[in-house]
Chain A
Amino acid sequence: MTAVLEASGLGKQYGRRWALRNCTLAIPAGRVVGLVGPNGAGKTTLLHLAVGLLAPTSGTIEVLGRRPGGPAGLGPVGFVAQETPVYAALSVADHLRFGAWLNSSWDGELARRRIEQLSLDPAQRAGSLSGGQRAQLALTLAIGKRPELLLLDEPVASLDPLARREFLQDLMQVVAEHGVSVVLSSHLIADLERVCDYLVVLVASQVRVAGEVAALLASHHRLSGSRRDPRTLPANQEVIEESHTDKQSTFLVRTDEPIHDPAWTVRTVSLEDLVLAYMSQARDARHLAHPRLGVLR
């Protein structure tokens, strides 16, 4: 597994506040990676560190094997910033010129074709585009430089549901056509569920869980049965989330082994349940004196 983005002990401090602290992760190539976490988890800070808009306070980050922020510019990395900023006073065609003039690897034909497919008017000012169209234009700028890696920071957060679906469908088409690695962040797993095949859950700058979506879904189960102490569960079943009533216990466990105990009703979990379980685990851990370790891989 080659990593397109590798962070080690990465930290970013503003004054006395850490926006990201001791973050270690490796994002594999050739995937569509969902970077999920609650607001304030450090997703934007991580992505800004990855594109060199910020310099790390501690630790290191490498993107496609290079430290960002060097004299060569960003290189084969396409970035779509949060809220998809574009120049409001410039036309769509001017933005394609911007892409061509500021990037050595610009594919003008590709960009023009995309604008045509999206039926954007090249003469229209970017300021009068809809949120969805603006996001498409920003994505076009990122794709036009023929990147090996696309980083998108909450690209659909400000879009309505229809524009959201169109944007993600378009993104998937790009991935299929160009085989580019993608990292997209969101605080809502529902946004990413349909498109991601790899998931990184970031909570309070820590990677709580990371892995292929299929493997994650296969190794997590919801068990329900008569009330039981979690300590009596087999050692290979790690409890992520538990809830109890007077008579009943429900556990969300992670295990690579099959579950044979006939006392349990075993159900699969949705990706959303899984992510929420890890997020709430992290939240509970912060309230405990001895935080339970998350699953780090």
Chain B
Amino acid sequence: MIRFTWLRFRAQAAVVFGALAALAVVLAVTGLALAHRYDTAAAACQARGDCAAAMNAFASSDSSLQSFVKLVLLAAPALIGMFWGAPLVAREFETGTFRLAWTQDVTPTRWLAIKLGVVGLASVAAAGLLSLMVTWWSSPIDKAFMDQWGVFNLRDITPVGYAAFAFALGVTAGMLIRRTVPAMAITLAVFAAVQIVMPLWIRPRLITPVHTTSPLNIAALQETGVTGNGRLQVIEPANIPGAWVYSSQIVTPGGQPASSEPATPACTTGTGQACDAYIARLHLRQPVTYQPASRYWFFQWYETAIFLGLAVILAGVCFWQIRRRRSEELHLPHLHANPKNPALERSG
């Protein structure tokens, strides 16, 4: 049964792994050049002391290939779910071949287990390889950007979890709907919804964030100014390297926002130094809510485990369904939709 599953699957596997191999060649060639350019740029900017600007410029280069790999990584799990997952069982129902497959010496349960195993492993392997390649290729850019949380779902191991989930989702949709195209549509819709819900509402709540309050660093003030109604405006992003910052405010020692302070002439008309001196006297503080950089891998494993867990639950639904199926009417759409054979329509 493993060999037969492979026989039916190998053409699709060849297409996907062939495309991955081609992408690997492109990424290897451009990746080496990218790493070299990063090293050169980093050495040069350290000598000049303008690394922030230099790194920004570097990170923005090669943006078309960057957008392309980002798109591939975003789409890959959804495509796996739609084209490998959804048809896996639905096609057998649609074409009626389940009556051939399930009347051999292999039970439907074992048949499903092997199909899920072989194609599921291929899905996970494809997503894993893709993520590995892209993570390596983009490591100079990621170092320059210093925003590991911004590409959290496009690097390291999370794509593996997404692929496993999308695949199981597709199979389950096919098992329940028993028609390939609607199952593909449902798979895409549900997967997209989960990919929106996860980063917006679930990922931020997985672990309680850290709260710190530190004195405002006057030297690092990014911008000061005056609001329309004559109040002070102070802008300084939280300076915690590699952190995922949920919120960052600037408040007075009393806990009021900095904009509650009036903008004195020092800031409205005075020099920058005068304004800074005025702000320093206010003893402003900066409370920050964030996930420290050290939690990155914990989040990676946590989220991957969640999606793998969902995949296992969906696989369980599939096994439950394939057992329950024996008590349901067999869907034979290909028979009933055949106008050449009206005699068959109601047959037994």
Contacts and interface: CB of A to CB of B under 8 A. Distances in A.
B7 interface: yes
A191 to B, nearest CB: 11
Interface SS of A by simple majority = loop
A90 interface: yes
Contact of A90 (B1, B7, B332): B7
Given A44-B348, A83-B335, A104-B105, A39 B96 contact: no
B68 interface: no
Interface in B310-348: 326-330, 332, 334-335, 338, 340-341, 343-348
Contacts of A44: 347-348
A45 B332 CA distance: 12
A182 to B, nearest CB: 16
Interface in A42-93: 42-46, 48, 51-55, 57, 69, 71-75, 77, 79, 81-83, 85-90
B246 interface: no
Interface stretch (A94-102, A207-215, A222-230, A281-289): A94-102
Contact of B344 (A53, A82, A89, A101): A82
Contacts of B7: 90, 94, 97-98
B10 to A, nearest CB: 11
A53 B326 contact: yes
B345 A39 contact: yes
Nearest to B342: A39
A3 B322 CA distance: 30
Nearest to A42: B348
Contact of B103 (A51, A82, A88): A51
B99 interface: yes
Contacts of A86: 97, 100
Contacts of A54: 326-327, 330
B3 A97 contact: yes
B301 interface: no
Q: Which of B103, B329, B334, B338 has the most chain A CB atoms inside 10 A of its CB?
A: B103
Given A81-B96, A81-B100, A101 B348 contact: no
A83 B96 contact: yes
A101 B3 contact: yes
A51 B8 CA distance: 24
A157 interface: yes
Contacts of A48: 99, 330
A145 interface: yes
Contact of B329 (A14, A83, A187): A14
A73 B4 CA distance: 17
Contacts of B107: 71-73
A75 B105 contact: yes
B95 interface: yes
B104 A145 contact: yes
A158 B341 contact: yes
B106 interface: yes
Contacts of B332: 82-83
A19 B329 contact: yes
B297 interface: no
Interface residues of B, number: 34
A145 B348 contact: no
Given A85-B95, A87-B97, A102-B4, A40 B346 contact: yes
A104 to B, nearest CB: 5
Contact of B4 (A55, A101, A141): A101
Contacts of A37: 348
B4 A97 contact: yes
A97 B1 CA distance: 10
Contacts of B95: 85, 87-88
A51 B348 CA distance: 15
A73 B104 contact: yes
Interface in B179-194: none
Given A83-B96, A85-B95, A74 B103 contact: yes
A138 interface: yes
B99 A138 contact: no
B8 A90 contact: yes
Interface in A120-146: 138, 141, 145
A6 interface: no
B109 to A, nearest CB: 8
A237 interface: no
A81 B340 CA distance: 18
B348 A103 contact: no
Q: Which 8 A-B pairs rank lowest in CB-CB distance, beginning with the nearest?
A: A43-B348, A81-B99, A44-B348, A73-B105, A102-B104, A55-B326, A85-B96, A79-B103
21 contacts: A46-B348, A52-B326, A57-B327, A73-B105, A73-B106, A81-B100, A82-B96, A82-B99, A83-B335, A83-B338, A83-B344, A87-B95, A98-B104, A102-B4, A102-B101, A102-B105, A103-B104, A145-B104, A154-B347, A157-B344, A187-B343
Interface of B: 1, 3-4, 7-8, 95-97, 99-107, 326-330, 332, 334-335, 338, 340-341, 343-348
Given A48-B330, A57-B327, 9 more contacts: A39-B343, A39-B346, A51-B103, A73-B106, A89-B8, A101-B3, A103-B105, A138-B100, A157-B343
